[in-house]
Amino acid sequence: MNEALGAQIIDINMGCPAKKVCGKACGSALLKDEPLVAQLLEAVVRAVSVPVTLKIRTGWSPGSRNGAQIARIAESAGIQALAVHGRTREDFYTGDAEYETIREIKSLIRIPVFANGDIDSPEKARSVLDFTRADGVMLGRAAHGAPWIFRSVNSWLTTQKSIADLSRSEVRGIILSHLASLYAFYGEDTGVRFARKHLGWYFASMPDSTNTRASLMAEATTASQFAATREHLDRWVADESDGAPEVTASQVA
């Protein structure tokens, strides 16, 4: 069905650690059942003509870190690329991601491997790539409220040079464009609710963050939420031209 709707790839998520997901034997809970993983992957690969990719964690628990076995199963099933988060399901997002398992997986299979977990800067991306020898990195939480991080990472990885911070005006344009896209995609009721978490991330490091975010969370319609956001951002941009202390785009995360 997704291929018929125009999907260019099918990505299977066996990395989600959420209780409500794992409780239904989905997400990273599947890592506990290797025969079922093989069955599912083979069935999906057979069902579509577009590439099928997979995301996993390193295992269900530190005592059951079977990411390497799952990686072999994935390659044998016809998976075209594999993303690996450097934690087990039991780790959730606590502690530090470990990259040894990702390096082991990369040494065992021929398909592209993407390293994921705690990659929050261009320098960290470079060090993880160097250590794991992965084909690329995947960023998740680091992009919350700072989707421009990808331009910084890509610039560093390709040119070894840092890229200039976005101006406040450019950040304003990105945020307002993002809001408009959310509203268009999700509609009125879901759009205003879904936008709240993104606004919370965007405004987390801006001046008077607590009061600003509280006021934006209280807006009940997309029109009022957008207008309030634009008003706050307009003041923020004006403060820059008035010589107020700078808050760089990289800090708005």
The answer on pLDDT for 247 being more than 80 is no
104 token code pair: 């082991």
Tokens (6 digits) for 65: 């870190």
Report yes or no: 86 and 120 within 8 Å, Cβ to Cβ: no
Q: What percent of the chain has pLDDT over 90?
A: 90
| Res. 246 pLDDT band, cuts 50 70 90 | very low
- Residue 244: per-residue pLDDT: 44
> What whole-number percentage of the chain has pLDDT above 70?
95
| pLDDT given for residue 241 in this prediction | 65
Average the pLDDT over 68-75 and give the result: 98
Place of tokens 């990719």: 53
- What is the band of 240 on the pLDDT scale with cuts at 50, 70, 90? confident
Gyration radius (Cα) of the chain, Å: 21
List the catalytic residues: 16
Instruction: Write out pLDDT tens, residues 183-225.
Output: 999 999 999 999 999 999 999 988 889 999 999 999 999 999 9
Task: Provide the pLDDT for residue 39.
Answer: 98
Averaged over 13-22, what is the pLDDT? 95
Domain ranges of the chain: 10-142, 168-251
User: How much is the pLDDT for 205?
Assistant: 86
Show contacts of 176-179: CB within 8 Å, 24+ apart. 176/226, 176/229, 176/230, 176/233, 178/147, 179/222, 179/225, 179/226, 179/229
Q: Which residues contact 22 (CB under 8 A, 6 or more apart)?
A: 16, 28, 29, 89
The β-bridge relationship of strands 136-138 and 10-14 is unpaired
pLDDT at 174 exceeding the cut of 70: yes
- Where residue 242 falls among pLDDT bands split at 50, 70, 90? low
Structural fold of domain 10-142: TIM Barrel (3.20.20)
- Write out pLDDT tens, residues 113-136: 999 999 999 999 999 999 999 999
pLDDT of residue 61 exceeding 90, the answer is yes
Taking 70 as the threshold, does the pLDDT of residue 248 lie above it? no
**DSSP string across the chain:** -TTTTT-S-EEEEE----HHHHTTT-GGGGGG-HHHHHHHHHHHHHH-SS-EEEEEES-SBTTB--HHHHHHHHHHHT--EEEEESS-GGGTT-S----HHHHHHHHH-SS-EEEESS--SHHHHHHHHHHH--SEEE--GGGTT-TTHHHHHHHHHHHS---PPPPHHHHHHHHHHHHHHHHHHH-HHHHHHHHHHHHHHHTTTSTTHHHHHHHHHH--SHHHHHHHHHHHHHHHHHHHHTTPPP--GGG--
